[in-house]
Structure 1
Amino acid sequence: MKSVTTAALLTSTALLALASVATAQGTPKPATTEQTDKGETDEDANAAFDRIVDEATSELFKLQPAYASVLNIPEEQAGGRYKDRFGTPGIAGYEEMKAYSDEVEAELEGLDASALTPERQEYLAILLGDQENADELDAIEEKTGYYLAGGYNSPYVVNQIGGIHTNLPQLMTQLHGLASADDADAYVTRLGLFGEQFDGAIEVMNANAEAGAIPPDYAIDGAIAQAKMFVDGPASENVLVTHLTDTLPEIGVDDVDGYRQRATQAVEETVYPAYQRLIAALEELRPQATHEAGIWDIPEGERLYDALIVANGESELDGDGVHKLGLSEVARIEGEMEALFEEIGMTEGTVGERLAALTADPEQVFPNTPEGKEELLSYTRGLVSEAEGVMGEYFLVTPKNSVVVEPVPAYAEQGAAGGSYMSPAEDGSRPGMFMINLRDTAIQPRYTLPTLVYHETVPGHHFQLALATDAKETPLLVRQSASSTGFAEGWGLYAENFAKEIGMYKDDPEGDIGRLQAEMFRAVRLVVDSGMHAKHWSREKAVDYMVKTTGMERSDVESEIERYSVWPGQALAYKTGMLKIQELRARAEEALGDDFDVAAFHYQVLRDGGAPLRVLEKRIDEWIAKGGPAPKLAASDTAGSKEKSNEKG
């Protein structure tokens, strides 16, 4: 079953997802006397759980050495040397991970859950996940013969937004640690392994095509264009070579020319030929592709979409229900935007037309030049600093380290989202990073940037994922599973709205319009995602609806729509997750009254990096039943937070 956390690591094509959920290995907190005084049976069950988790963690690193690089953990913690290896490629690697996932699941299900400590009971629920839906995804694979090995259980393992052609360069240039000559040697060795990794991805892609799961034509075209761009130029000038040679002097490694020669040779003889084989395979596949945007067009596609609504959106709604919810939210948000537009004197045209006019306002657009992009980065970094100075009042625990703002690498700009967050390394060697897409500054107007910052950094993804990295007493497998798509993106959208609640937009009506546009953006996602995958909308119909409703740049909307088409259901998670977190907060406020403390609520929500929404609901209900207490925290746990009083609210 793919519900156990290792499912996210089934193939090399999952490396991009790994970058966003870096966590640290640990062991469960020791049971208290109260928890273990029931007798030897309880202790045996807890010891068995700890053993299974520890063994699974070690085996995970052995099967997926790239994941150890994501965390940048010591070799002894990973069970041996890993930095010069990748995991088993292709179908064999997928089946290897799936078999091990089944093995871990069977061991966990064999435990007597009632004998575990309350803490471990929650860990178990997180690790086992939604078994019924996992069984449904397995059944679809078995019936169709395609592998759900792409991002977010997609059958499209190579496409315009991700795949082996973008994920491996990202791993090498951003996540493969370079601190010594040995690291540099391992780097060159890994370059020599690109061929087998690419051939494995091609194998899965072709197997899925044979089973009828072929990406839309524009997704194939985008992947071909990206791959061709990556090999356009001398090997000696490729980013895989220049990243290494630029870094060596910084770490005190001599013989830069020797490493340049070795890396260039690996790129010429292995990397470039691997890309050319992928390009040829995609070009051979291209005539079989259709222009249909929806997953309904592949075998068992409608059934798969229903399962992905549950897996990615963590919602029990069907496609029609998602569509109706989206339309309702769009109408509500448009009403709120009308009032703000009147406040700034923009009263002509539809909401979408006024958004487009605001987006095109020269005062809102940074120059699309190197200097303009630096100005945009500086402005964004200032917003992060401002948020960090405010949010400690509303959180009992904040991350020990700040977040850095960096541009998306040029080779990934075209298909990448407007912004994304990459977790810090477990050992602190790499900070949390907010990656902002600067392919065209017009897609990042000034009035939208505060909301993007609050979502991706403070108090959004950086708070959530960096706190998970800091929580070293919680097992790696638990924290990696805790950040489900619905929780993570729901928290990001909740963070945007919380910034409004505490006055971050008080003197910035344009920024508040940006917040509502972002929420509108997520509501529109419900409409277009279900439109394409459940109601057979075309790509063009989805693009037109989103441009008209949000006022966004068409080029930006096209990238978004194409993303939703190859990651069915992923775009639902933002809105469905936010609504659940808001529902739980309202429930707590009503039940606790004056005893409700928002900082204590946030602690419960973000504890251990969060939890899948169904587990989070149980956690909050139990906290409410206890009276909503604030936890007793050590001084080291509250590093970065302001001193909290006993004030409520």
Structure 2
Amino acid sequence: MIDRRRLLFTAAAGAGLAASGQVLAFARQDTAEATLEGLMERIVQQMVMTSPETVTMLGLDTGPMAALKSRLDDRSAAKIEADKVVFQGFMTEMESIDRAALPARSQIHYDTVKYFGDTVASSYEFPYGQGFPSPYTVNQLGGSYNSVPDFLDAQHRIETAEDAEAYLSRLEAFPTALDQETERMHADFAAGAVPPDFIIERTVGLLGNLTGTPAGESVMTTSIARRAAEANLPGEWGERARRIVEGGIYPAVERQAEALRSQRANATHDAGVWRLPRGEDYYRFGLRYFTTTEMTGAEVHAMGLEQVAELSARADQILRAEGRTEGTVGERISALARDPAQVYPNTDAGREELLASLNAQMADMQARLPAYFGRIPVSPVEVRRVPVTTEAGAPGGYYQPPALDGSRPGAYYINLRDTAEWPKFTLPTLTYHEASPGHHHQIALQMENDDAPMLMKLLGFSAYSEGWGLYAEQLADEMGVYDNDPWGRLGYLQSFMFRAVRLVVDSGLHSERWSREQAIRYMVETLGDAESTVTTEVERYCVWPGQAASYKVGQTVWGNLRTRAMTQLGDRFDIKGFHDTALNAGGVPLTVLERVVDDWIAAQRG
């Protein structure tokens, strides 16, 4: 899963737009192409380069932008409302551009930006969850309480005393960010968007985990103390951080927790967004945003049930061939997952052994890539453990992109709260999804594309990227990584089953009105996964309606497009050409990807 599922840009108008009226000076635009390029550049300058956290994420917080390194993003409702005005102004300018007058490459850019703008704008009609399909400002997966500490530790570089002072300035700004979100939470509640009771409990628990850690042991304190020492920077950096954490940040976190606790009496146990004002329309927005299709909840549900049946049959063949014939597919996979030979010890040593195996898998894959790709990322990727302070509510694995300037590698995070959640046979396909040839390969290439406008290096769509991540799992199998590893191939099929089950459960919760418990039971029975893993997954779908559907919808389109190309081109089909062409487009809606591939097919046919 890409870093917090928002990529770098999908927070839309709330991602750090400049104040209304801020416009850069550009030379007169005489062509539609020049007008589009100028507009895209201004979007980058006003939406991306004015966001302090995004600038740091991209590794650009130096030189003229160094002042941003001491700030956090403005999370206030007033800022978000002002941002909307600017965002809508950009989209109005898009409407004035004659698409027909654009060259083919610029038409891809136009269609991509316009789809994004139109989809985000459709969310403004709801009194909650605007811009990004999550109706609750703070939940177990979203909120500055979990993103800012991780951001400061992983992305704020400390090499000089000025860097360390900027870190402390950001810590001092953190209580304001928390209080801004707390204020927005109250507006959510007033609009009828109160989280389900179990989401409140989970989130309050995570907030309590944060404040329950002594301030001197908080990652916010230990990170600066450790890194300042490594950089040989004299000063009481850790002690100064501890005072800010204890005196300012923890009280703000407690205020946020109290705001959530105050809604317990108003919360229901219903899991889906259908219970919210205009909730059925909101789910349609979520599906459109995440899948970049017009699929309905009923269509997603039917697709999921069909694919679960097909994949279960394939898994059954492997299990029977290996002598495991008793029980359902889910029960047999569950039994295999509990086999002591498949489980790393739930100790520090066991976790280190697990991480070493992931690094070995990545090294092996790196040697296979040249046979399938013409372009291979320059940026490396590292395996990291999900921070202990946030692992209880975090997903199983996710990816963080590299810095644009190459100063920070990509990172593939794995949640090691309990090694039993990661039987050995499930790990290779996770590596191929999150690292190479999956997310890191696709996103690093997108960011390293010197021919692409900056906006196209940053913009992304879940169906494209998550669909590619699943397609990459399939490709790894085709590369031969499981030729002598039937259990590894079973892990790959279970991963596909898991994503097909997501289609069923996401639409079940939000369209079919399933309960949380019904969704958990279906996943456990179908997949054989540990209930602890399944529970956090189901609760994730409750706060990101539609996102879980993007994986299998996207992978289905990627697979269908390759089949179409192979069928039409026959001997002229080139796997490297297909991959390089489709990836060179950058993160685009699936409808745009189809057009890119069709144009490539036509060019190959002459």
Matched, 1:227 2:207: yes
Q: Share of identical aligned residues, percent? A: 39
Equivalence for 2:569? 592
Shift of 1:123: 1.2
Matched, 1:87 2:73: yes
Structure 2: which amino acid aligns with 1:442? A
Q: Secondary structure at the match of 2:519?
A: helix
Equivalence for 1:282? 260
Q: Secondary structure at the match of 1:129?
A: helix
Matched, 1:350 2:336: no
Equivalence for 1:427? 405
Equivalence for 1:160? 140
Matched, 1:543 2:520: yes
1:353-364 pair list within 5 angstroms: 353-364=331-342
Distance 1:486 1:471 in 2: 20
- Say whether the 8 Å CA contact 2:398–2:412 is kept in structure 1: yes
The gaps in structure 2 that reach 5 residues or longer are 1-5, 18-26
Equivalence for 1:70? 57
Matched, 1:187 2:176: no
- Say whether the 8 Å CA contact 1:12–1:197 is kept in structure 2: no
Distance 1:97 1:369 in 2: 47
- Say whether the 8 Å CA contact 2:382–2:411 is kept in structure 1: yes
- Say whether the 8 Å CA contact 2:12–2:120 is kept in structure 1: no
Q: Secondary structure at the match of 1:346?
A: coil
Shift of 1:135: 4.5
Distance 1:434 1:523 in 2: 23
Select the residue among 259, 284, 302 that pairs with 1:324: 302
- Say whether the 8 Å CA contact 2:287–2:293 is kept in structure 1: yes
The gaps in structure 1 that reach 5 residues or longer are 15-39, 630-649
Distance 1:6 1:373, change over 3 A: closer
Q: Secondary structure at the match of 2:376?
A: coil
Equivalence for 1:137? 123
Shift of 1:93: 2.0
Q: Secondary structure at the match of 1:417?
A: coil
Structure 2: which amino acid aligns with 1:546? M
Matched, 1:622 2:602: no
TM-score under structure 1 length normalisation: 0.88
Select the residue among 107, 121, 135 that pairs with 2:107: 121
Q: Secondary structure at the match of 1:406?
A: strand
Equivalence for 1:268? 246
- Say whether the 8 Å CA contact 2:16–2:51 is kept in structure 1: no
Distance 1:250 1:356, change over 3 A: same
Equivalence for 2:481? 504
Equivalence for 2:32? 45
| 1:421-447 deviation line (CA, Å, top 9, x unaligned) | 111111111111000100000001000
Select the residue among 7, 11, 14 that pairs with 1:8: 11
Distance 1:506 1:276, change over 3 A: same
Equivalence for 1:148? 130
Equivalence for 1:57? 44
Shift of 1:61: 3.8
Matched, 1:457 2:435: yes
Equivalence for 2:85? 99
- Say whether the 8 Å CA contact 2:111–2:592 is kept in structure 1: yes
| 1:576-601 deviation line (CA, Å, top 9, x unaligned) | 00000111111111111100001110
1:323-402 pair list within 5 angstroms: 323-402=301-380
Equivalence for 2:456? 478
- Say whether the 8 Å CA contact 1:58–1:77 is kept in structure 2: no
- Say whether the 8 Å CA contact 2:395–2:537 is kept in structure 1: yes
Distance 1:612 1:430, change over 3 A: same
Equivalence for 1:295? 273
Distance 1:550 1:13 in 2: 40
Distance 1:201 1:401 in 2: 34
Distance 1:403 1:448, change over 3 A: same
- Say whether the 8 Å CA contact 1:11–1:90 is kept in structure 2: no
- Say whether the 8 Å CA contact 1:526–1:571 is kept in structure 2: yes
- Say whether the 8 Å CA contact 1:312–1:485 is kept in structure 2: yes
- Say whether the 8 Å CA contact 1:53–1:477 is kept in structure 2: yes
Matched, 1:436 2:418: no
Distance 2:199 2:319 in 1: 37
Moved more, 554-563 or 44-53: 44-53
Distance 1:155 1:303, change over 3 A: same
Distance 1:68 1:286 in 2: 38
Indicate the RMSD between aligned Cα atoms, in angstroms.
Answer: 2.1
Equivalence for 1:199? 179
Select the residue among 188, 195, 209 that pairs with 1:208: 188
Shift of 1:56: 2.1
Distance 1:316 1:9, change over 3 A: closer
TM-score under structure 2 length normalisation: 0.94
Structure 2: which amino acid aligns with 1:570? Q
Moved more, 566-575 or 335-344: 335-344
Moved more, 82-91 or 49-58: 49-58
Shift of 1:247: 0.4
Structure 2: which amino acid aligns with 1:371? A
Distance 1:345 1:216 in 2: 44
Equivalence for 1:573? 550
